[in-house]
């Protein structure tokens, strides 16, 4: 399954660089997004480096998910595709 990185998880004054919000085209509600909790996610950088993460929870009511990656994600990852396995 493929998804798109939408944004960093952020608060009013902070931005958490290892937490990302992912939107998936096939998932349109919170129940389907909650079924993906615990799945592995990977993102490949343009240089070929792979960063892995795990789905932590659903985000909002429109099917977005929150993923916690093992390291901080670069800003160039926004809008890129990820693979959910």
Could you tell me the pTM of the whole model? 0.90
Phi-psi region of 11 (alpha: psi -120 to 50; beta: other; left: phi over 0): beta
Residue 35 belongs to domain spanning: 2-84
Q: How confident is the model at residue 55 (pLDDT cuts 50, 70, 90)?
A: very high
Beta-bridge mates of residue 9 = 16
Residue 37: per-residue pLDDT: 96
Asked if 81 and 44 count as a contact pair (C-beta separation under 8 A), the reply is no
What is the average pLDDT across 44-58? 95
The radius of gyration of the chain from alpha carbons, rounded to an integer in Å, stands at 12
Residue 48: per-residue pLDDT: 92
How far apart are alpha carbons 16 and 11 in whole angstroms?
8
CATH number of the CATH domain containing 75: 2.40.10.190
What is the average pLDDT across 52-62? 96
Total domains in the chain come to 1
Residue 44: per-residue pLDDT: 95
């Amino acid at each position: 399954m493929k998804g798109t990185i939408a944004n960093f998880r952020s608060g009013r004054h902070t931005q958490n660089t290892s937490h990302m919000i992912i939107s998936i085209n096939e998932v349109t509600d919170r129940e389907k997004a909650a079924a993906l909790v615990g799945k592995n996610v990977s993102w490949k950088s343009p240089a070929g480096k792979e960063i892995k993460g795990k789905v932590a929870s659903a985000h909002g009511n429109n099917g977005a998910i929150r993923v916690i990656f093992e390291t901080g994600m670069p800003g160039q990852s926004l809008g890129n595709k990820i693979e959910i396995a």
